[in-house]
Amino acid sequence: MSRGNSLSLNNQAIKRKFNTVIKKRYIRIILVICIIILLLIFLNLSLNKNIKDVPEVNFSNITSIGLQYNSVKYPAVTITDSKKIKEFIDNISLCVVKKVIRPAGTGYYLSAAFYSNDERVFNILFIGNYIKIYAQGKGTQYKIVKGNISYEALDEFVRSIK
């Protein structure tokens, strides 16, 4: 074997080893990026927030609230009294929520539609210890992790309006 052939084989071996090292580095970088993305998603989902701090919720300038049970035997109620609006918002503002991916269910107990000057701003559906907030055509589900919005408390509040 001549010296030229030997150098060419060595160059090919070096190139192959270099390509293997580069591929391993790219794979490691991609894995690290994927892990960071998954951690960020997990942290975003697991962060607890006061309901006032949820991006879809904006309690400022609420002029009326429409309450509707998920049953035809209970009539819809509209709150226009500013004191009652404040009372309702203060009561649900005591809750701390966490965004969840898995839906709690398809039904709801009570729907609260929040209006500012006859324009619907967002809806909150009360589903046991979950709430679903609809704003700008999207629904986001949250689990109530601190505080309590019991059906009894909701019923008592609705009765106080009538």
* Between residues 45 and 145, the one the model is more confident about: 145
DSSP letter, residue 108? -
- Averaging pLDDT over each range in 19-23, 55-59, 156-160, which range is the top one? 156-160
What is the share, in percent, of the chain residues with pLDDT greater than 90? 17
To the question of pTM greater than 0.85 for the whole model, the response is no
Closest CA to 126 of 159, 90, 87, 153: 153
Domain ranges in the chain are 1-46, 48-161
CATH number of 48-161: 2.60.40.4250
Residue ranges of the alpha helices (H) in 80-140?
A: 82-92
pLDDT at site 13: 65
Computed over every residue of the chain, the mean pLDDT equals 81
Dihedral angle sign, alpha carbons of residues 131, 134, 135, 138? positive
pLDDT at site 8: 62
Please, what is the angle between helix 82-92 and helix 151-161, to 10°? Answer: 180
What is the longest distance spanned by two Cα atoms in the chain? 102
